[in-house]
Amino acid sequence: MANIYDLRRYGRIAFLISAAAVVALFLYFSNGLIKDLSAVERERMELWADATKELVSAASSADGSGTDVDFLLGIIKGNTTIPVLLTDSEGNILQHRNFELPVPGDTLGLGAPSDKRNAEFLASKLSELEASNKIIVIDISPDEVQRLYYDDSTLLRRMSVFPYILLLVMLAFIAVVYFAVLSTKKAEQNKVWVGLSKETAHQLGTPISSLMAWMELLPDMGVDNDTLAEMNKDVSRLSTIASRFSKIGSAPRMEPAELNTVVGDAVGYMSTRISGRINLGWHPFARGIDIKASKSLLEWVIENLIKNAVDAMDGKGRIDVTVGAGPINAFIEVADTGKGLSRKNFKTVFNPGYTTKSRGWGLGLTLAKRIIEQYHGGRIFVKQSSPAGTTFRIELPLNKL
């Protein structure tokens, strides 16, 4: 079962790499398109500069009859999208077009604007454009040079932003779909958990009731009291297990409890049911710790952690169960001297079906996580692990009166 989660991890990495590649290709082609549009705008501005040069030459010549002035004016007036500033050799603004001026006016853009605010605005724009490479030098004559400054058109600016907006939309859509699928999957898993737990409790109910009836008849059949006492313990234990399963899927009743007592009872129960070659150490806190808990479910978690520790040590080693408290949370630590976990499996061990054992369903830690986090408002995690052993830590909120 562990291979399923390895494949899922590799699949997630492959998906992220594929998504990154698609995004990179998308941005590459989008940037290529923007560069092409920018080149087209520069060509238009060079044509605009040539038309301006021809008009000035025609106006200064004695005979400009060979110049198609209307055609040249049409080229200049045809620019309705690209912001343009034309200056003389001394930097004085001769023309401006397609700028959104603070004070509307100067619609033809001939000469410097009359309004002071417009003049200041265009002067600031000229300073910005001088620092760019969007400049075309127009050699009118050996003694006269004009400079054409142009900015990106509104279309080009929008196209520059569009790929990133589309990228954000794509990422948002992927995130919504991912979390929707994840939520649906979790809801389905919860239904399976609840159904399995309820059915298990139901199936256990009938034989337990039958065993209880037999227990009442056994004294009359001459069974000794010691044997009856041990059988009563086992029947009582079966009833507790059935009760635990019946509580999965519905909010259990949380009652005030003393953490040392709850954990101590679980440790005491397990101490008589594990190999004598395992040393089970119990380290309660120096004072009482008040929490709100479902005692039977919390004991179940501790028992599961101890059982997993026993399996990790192959029946020989040491387990230490420690209880402590801080200003906000109480904690329980179960440390073993087993073979340890790899760091990549610190979270995977809590997934349904994950197990390193040849038998078993891999549900114990999943149920423990559900009990601690959903019912008790705490958290459970692998604190540390190495070839020398593993430590699981549970943190629970204190019951502040």
Model pLDDT for residues 17-69, shown as the tens digit of each residue: 887 788 788 888 888 888 888 888 888 888 878 887 777 776 666 555 555 55
Give the residue, 309 or 203, on which the prediction is more confident.
309
Question: What pLDDT is attached to residue 38?
Answer: 84
Give the residue, 81 or 262, on which the prediction is more confident.
262
C-beta separation of 379 from 392 below 8 A: no
Give the residue, 73 or 37, on which the prediction is more confident.
37
Pairing of strands 317-325, 278-283: parallel
pLDDT band at 376 (very low <50, low <70, confident <90, very high): very high
**CA-to-CA distance for 156 and 150, rounded, in angstroms?**
13
Give the residue, 65 or 205, on which the prediction is more confident.
205
Among 22, 80, 11, residue whose Cα is nearest residue 48: 80
Q: What DSSP assignment string belongs to 50-61?
A: HHHHHHHHHHHS
Q: Classify residue 362 by its DSSP letter.
A: S
Specify the CATH number of the domain 252-397.
3.30.565.10
Residue 356 has pLDDT above 90, yes or no: no
Residue 76 has pLDDT above 80, yes or no: no
Q: Classify residue 255 by its DSSP letter.
A: E
Please classify residue 129 by burial: count the beta carbons closer than 10 Å to its beta carbon, then call 0-12 exposed, 13-18 middle and 19+ buried.
buried
Residue 361 has pLDDT above 70, yes or no: no
Q: What's the rounded mean pLDDT across residues 160-185?
A: 81
Give the residue, 369 or 272, on which the prediction is more confident.
369
Among 232, 234, 240, 252, residue whose Cα is nearest residue 201: 240
Determine the residue type at 60: S
Mean pLDDT over all residues of the chain? 81
**Domain residues of the chain, as ranges?**
2-152, 252-397
Residue 360 has pLDDT above 50, yes or no: no
pLDDT tens-digit series, residues 107-155: 556 666 667 888 888 888 888 888 887 888 888 777 788 888 888 887 8
Count CB atoms within 10 A of the CB of residue 334: 23
> b/e map of 364-395 (b: 16 or more CB within 10 Å)?
bbbbbbbbbeebbebebebebbeeebbbbbbb
**CA-to-CA distance for 6 and 67, rounded, in angstroms?**
77
